[in-house]
Amino acid sequence: MAPPRKRDVRASRPPLRFGDDPLLWASWLYYEEGLTQSEIADQMGASRPTVNAYLADARARGIVNISISGDKLRSVTIARAIEAHFGIGDCLIVPAEGGQRSLIDRLGAAAAQSLPDLLHSGDTVAITWGRTMLALANAVRDCHLSDVIVVQATGGTTAAITYTPEACATRLAESLGARFVPISAPAIVSSPEARKILLREPVIAEQMQNLERVTCILFGISSLRPNSTVHSSGFFDSSLQRHGAYGTAVGSLAGRFIDDQGAGLSGPLADRTMGIDLDQLRSVPTRVLVAGGFDKVPPILAALRGGYVTTLITDSATGEGILRAEGVELDTLAPRRRAAEPPQQALARTRIKKFINQPKDAVTEALEGALAAFPDHIEPIGGSLRALRSRAAKPEGKVGVVIGGGAGHEPGFAGFVGPGLADAVALGNVFASPPPDRILSCTRDAHRGAGVLYIYGNYTGDVMNFDMAADLAAAEGIQTRTVLTTDDIASSGAEDRAARRGTAGNVFVFKVAGAASARMLPLEDCERLARKANAACHTIGVALEPCSTPDTQRPSFSIGQTDMEFGVGIHGEPGVTRVRLQTADRVVDQICDRIFEEMRLAPGARVAVLVNSLGATPMLELMILNRRLTHRLSARSVDVHTTLLGHYFTALDMAGASITLMALDEELTGLLDAPCDGFAWRK
């Protein structure tokens, strides 16, 4: 029995301007933005009673007294104004005064607390150097991430300081449990020629290439005051200070000097600096600037103007100074509470439009269309449209491979019939098993004296009907063997693999079995290899919207606008768990974390990949999913041997996708690479 479905009620993360304070977030939305408690519950990913409790606690703790307390209100107001004015994604403001801890320590701690929301498993993180960066690295606690790489953003500096690039990057890697990649060269070399020579060194070239793969960079910024980091590190000596090229410089980030608009300055250091350049920095998806203090206002402002920042973490006095320098007065920023408006009811789909004639004829007419489109691949057996065989000749002594299941998974199952694949397929109605007599017809047709191998998904109706067909075949002297596909790891635990469903991993199992049969291997070996392929496959599916069958033309289940189903099968059922809607990268991360853990993927492993549409998900979105999947596999140093991308095993018109990873050894690789010719897979 499948495990009971669970609802994920974890709250969405608050914007950074609220810190880690759900009471403040709820209070702001209720008292300042005028949202109803139901609207707040939707936005926070919490229940309405929880929101009610948050608001009561906020009053009890003095956060709210008719309005939000002044200091917190000012911090949130500054953060929101900076986000809006500069178009950045997040801004976190810490108090300008903070007791005994220095501003640098408080900024570092705030940035460290934000990392779980900014970093993800498989990321490559670069960090620059300086007092604030070392404070950040020291404050980081275990973020429970895997396959993270920490890259030194620049070469080394003088060891006379404690906050060198090596120290900051090493400490961050230790805190995250990540792999550390240094840059084994000085940050500033003696000449452009020396830089060119160093970049030709294989070790340094390999280290520098990691900067092209950075997904998040944590950086500080240096002003040009005499005791600033850029001076105390020996980076910017007196002779350079007098150089005219740096006369308009207001600060330095990652060893690169910028003017007040954020433009890079081309002086004598430009061709002597080893590390990330400004164009590379600007192309990193997540760019976190952590800096504060009155002297940092001009360089922070320049970095914001230059587009180097996606997230800013600073203090309230610095934030206010940045806004005033832009002519934004805080007195004009007081938020106006809008009147609460009743939420508009979304139009619910009650009937799904389809290109069909009569619902009862949909499967028959679809098969007629398939036969018309692919006459060189498939043909009916004995005039039955639902028992199809390969048009290719089947030599005597070849093991027959028969697959089957319900309609609604197109191009599966019929698309995987042909040379190097299955010999015949038995099809049922939509999401319904084919009857035993139809399976027996396919068995007789595929039999060439060496027995027949059945491969189908682990579903009650399929098991019952194929077993009955096997008994009937045995009575006629035809030996059969059965392999149930069980690749869906969300449907049951690893300790009970036999109870799992067969989903898109079917495709790889069909391919391996078909290749084994084409090699004229005996039935026992074909069965062994099909079982091996099934054991190597691991799949998880996620749905954004339900499917609808031709007969009902209604959604197969209801789902909210901000929800998705995690762990769906291929028959229109809900997932094992309902969770909050997430971005494509975070969906892939959840899938990878589960699959990697069960597969115990180690560096150097080889896999085949299937990114499969469940019906309505277009190729564009599948490619976005594959982008993140490739990144996660690369971060673990896993070799992707083959990638399939598209509609392979669907659930009618379900909006969703599944990801399958198949662990490969030499034997499975050879069978997967063997030629085949089905209308859904040609090789």
User: What's phi and psi for 295, nearest 5 deg?
Assistant: -70, -15
What does the CA dihedral 385, 616, 354, 363 come to, rounded to 10 degrees?
Answer: 10
Residues 279 and 291: their CA atoms lie apart, in Å, by 21
Q: Chain centroid to CA 521: how far?
A: 40
Does residue 90 contact residue 16 with C-beta atoms inside 8 Å?
yes
549 contacts: CB under 8 Å, gap ≥ 6: 408, 430, 431, 556, 572, 652
Residue from 409, 538, 631, 647 carrying the catalytic annotation: 409
Cα atoms in the Cβ-side hemisphere of radius 13 Å centred on 671: 29
Pull the structure tokens for residue 671. 């069978």
Residues 116 and 112: their CA atoms lie apart, in Å, by 8
Residues 134 and 601: their CA atoms lie apart, in Å, by 33
Q: Which whole-number Å values give the CA distances from 329 to 83, 218, 324, 344, 611, in the listed order?
A: 15, 29, 6, 35, 51
409 catalytic residue (yes or no): yes
Residue from 120, 377, 538, 571 carrying the catalytic annotation: 571
447 catalytic residue (yes or no): no
Task: For residue 539, give the H/E element and its range.
Answer: strand 537-545
CA dihedral over 392, 394, 398, 399, signed as positive or negative: positive
The shares of helix, strand and coil residues in the chain, as percent rounded to the nearest 5, are: 40, 20, 40
User: What's phi and psi for 678, nearest 5 deg?
Assistant: -110, 160
Among the listed residues 215, 219, 216, the one whose alpha carbon sits nearest the alpha carbon of residue 313:
219
404 contacts: CB under 8 Å, gap ≥ 6: 413, 425, 426, 427, 428, 433, 434, 438, 439, 442, 454, 456, 462, 466
Q: Which residues pair with 288 in a beta bridge?
A: 218, 311
What secondary structure does DSSP assign to 549-587, as a single string?
A: -TTT-SBSS---TTEEEES--SSS---SEEEE---HHHH
Q: What is the CA radius of gyration of the chain?
A: 31
Residues 518 and 459: their CA atoms lie apart, in Å, by 27
Task: For residue 39, give the H/E element and its range.
Answer: helix 37-44
Among the listed residues 442, 462, 453, 469, the one whose alpha carbon sits nearest the alpha carbon of residue 515:
453
AA identity, residue 150: V
Residues 681 and 683: their CA atoms lie apart, in Å, by 7
Does residue 425 contact residue 404 with C-beta atoms inside 8 Å?
yes
Q: Which residues pair with 7 in a beta bridge?
A: 578
Among the listed residues 419, 495, 406, 423, the one whose alpha carbon sits nearest the alpha carbon of residue 457:
406
Catalytic residue positions, numbered: 409, 571
